[in-house]
Structure 1
């Protein structure tokens, strides 16, 4: 890979981080800094756990704290990753003779493309409506009816895609657990390694150490790194929250559950977009060594040299499997 492409990836990543912080500020953090933190502390000091109004206000002022903490983590993690990535510029030459391994099947890639298109439509239409009074937004906010229709239709389709995915893979997961137990399920579905908190935290800390100490031990991820794990599990947590509250508002309006549905819907949507801007796009698509696009999302294949460097546990499993077949 040329250094020019790497530098371009670096510039795009820095832009995404800046834009992500601007979005996070106007979508949530400004409320936190404009007295929201004091209101949150007051709510905590005087809990009313049986009151839906208390929960509405709590979510409204607590979720910006979650967004702030995540944004700080994502920014520092991406910066650490950039410092490591820049060391590999000029070294990413994969010959046609080099071995490749399938990371994403065609079926998985089709789901991923649909997910991105629908997520973009939902997020774009939702926040255009949310910031509809902004003088700059008014130029693209041409029709509320059009935006509401696009938002609802894309949201319903996104929910249907999520239900299909959970049903399809959930059935396979249950069958695998029944036959091979939890260990067998984790081997077949490496995304479950997110529940191995010690492994996840160790790998995250190793990335930070490696950023400052090139000779330090690097992360030892399996098939999926922290970006993939957060991307996957964050999506389905977010879609559950946004989907349930969205359905409630379709039938009962923004006042559903005394405004709790609207508050949670907006705040969780802000968190989802912040994750997308600050972590998913920089690491999944615009890393300097992969800019302008990660070919794995197009072909489904990754070079074995990349697997060995970035996913050593997966590489060891693949190597052991090949030895066993000989």
Structure 2
């Protein structure tokens, strides 16, 4: 069970928590309405489509959720531009050499080859990789989805093979995204021993200073310099 006692600092703004909640809803809607279309010849898919009111209703829900996800992606980009000049960077998701070195260092730590784990900033390499996977997946799914939605438009400019190719890419990326959420995100956000059954930070917006100091020490030090984070009892730095 994650610790929630003691002083806390803001990790996610209200807007970011709303964005996460919408992503959760839209992702599940897209999976629920998309998989039956991919496996339309199976019995379970046919039953699920009937339960949702038929194939036309299923497609309408799927496309509406897709348009909402794209709109949310645009909102996200605008938010990045607006907040990029703030003293505390809320969207520092750039992958750099340090992240590669952190990955190598973390593998060594987990393999028992070193006693010291890499010191992470606001987001570690795992969170950055997942973020860019979501971003790339949204772009790919959006482009291929529109090609399948309006094939007569795109085949005016591109060879006809772009439609079946988009269908393959769309379905493959969908399965990859679902398995990534189940195997990667669920573990890091729910099943990891130190936060089981759930990381409350994305819902409360707060993270205990003790946990911040342990998991994101570089961000903790930055917030201490800015006077945002209170000192934790175990903080060895001068006050």
TM-score normalised by structure 2 residue count: 0.81
Matched, 1:227 2:132: no
Matched, 1:146 2:57: yes
Structure 1's consecutive aligned runs of 4 or more residues displaced over 4 angstroms after TM superposition are 253-256
CA contact (8 A) 1:128 1:137 kept: yes
Give the root-mean-square deviation of aligned CA atoms.
2.7
Distance 1:215 1:136, change over 3 A: same
CA contact (8 A) 1:99 1:303 kept: yes
2:43 is aligned to 135
1:162 is aligned to 73
1:10 is aligned to none
- Indicate the SS of the match to 2:43: coil
| CA distance, structure 2, for counterparts of residue 295 and residue 127 of structure 1 | 29
> 1:256, CA displacement in angstroms?
6.8
| CA distance, structure 2, for counterparts of residue 110 and residue 298 of structure 1 | 9
> 1:215, CA displacement in angstroms?
6.0
Alignment of 1:89-128 (within 5 A): 93-95=3-5, 98-128=6-36
Distance 1:224 1:165, change over 3 A: same
| CA distance, structure 1, for counterparts of residue 146 and residue 191 of structure 2 | 34
| CA distance, structure 2, for counterparts of residue 106 and residue 219 of structure 1 | 30
Distance 1:293 1:100, change over 3 A: same
1:319 is aligned to 224
CA contact (8 A) 2:9 2:209 kept: yes
2:181 is aligned to 276
Selected match of 2:200 from 295, 302, 318: 295
Alignment of 1:30-69 (within 5 A): none
| CA distance, structure 2, for counterparts of residue 299 and residue 106 of structure 1 | 9
CA contact (8 A) 1:220 1:313 kept: yes
| CA distance, structure 2, for counterparts of residue 107 and residue 233 of structure 1 | 20
Distance 1:94 1:266, change over 3 A: closer
| CA distance, structure 2, for counterparts of residue 299 and residue 114 of structure 1 | 15
> 1:208, CA displacement in angstroms?
2.3
CA contact (8 A) 2:108 2:114 kept: no
Matched, 1:248 2:147: yes
CA contact (8 A) 1:227 1:284 kept: no
1:7 is aligned to none
